[in-house]
Amino acid sequence: MSRMVQCAKLKREAEGLDRPPYPGEVGKKIYLTVSKEAWDLWVKQQTILMNEYRLSAIDPKARKFIEEEMDKFLFGDGGTVPDQFVPPQ
């Protein structure tokens, strides 16, 4: 049986993650309060941000930006959508 969580992003009960997807306390918070569906949405949003802003995963400033955006996306106002981004059709 799947583990269910009250998802902070979707505002409803949904299937939880199998393990913390991020290290430390942030990962624990995500594991306890974010669903698989919401995490998949975040991964897509993260890809958009990385590509549109041409961020490098090894750059500490880029990692800090992504972590801040992840917090906004999952627990806050939804985060940033790049001005020039056009969704594929």
pLDDT tens-place string over residues 14-48: 999 999 999 999 999 999 999 999 999 999 999 99
What does pTM read for this prediction?
A: 0.88
For residue 81, pLDDT beyond 80: no
Burial of 75 from C-beta contacts in 10 A (0-12 / 13-18 / 19+): middle
pLDDT at 32: 97
- Angle between the 36-52 and 60-75 helix axes, to the nearest 10 degrees? 140
Domains assigned to the chain = 4-75 (1.10.3880.10)
Q: Region 56-66: what's the mean pLDDT?
A: 95
Higher pLDDT, 39 or 89: 39
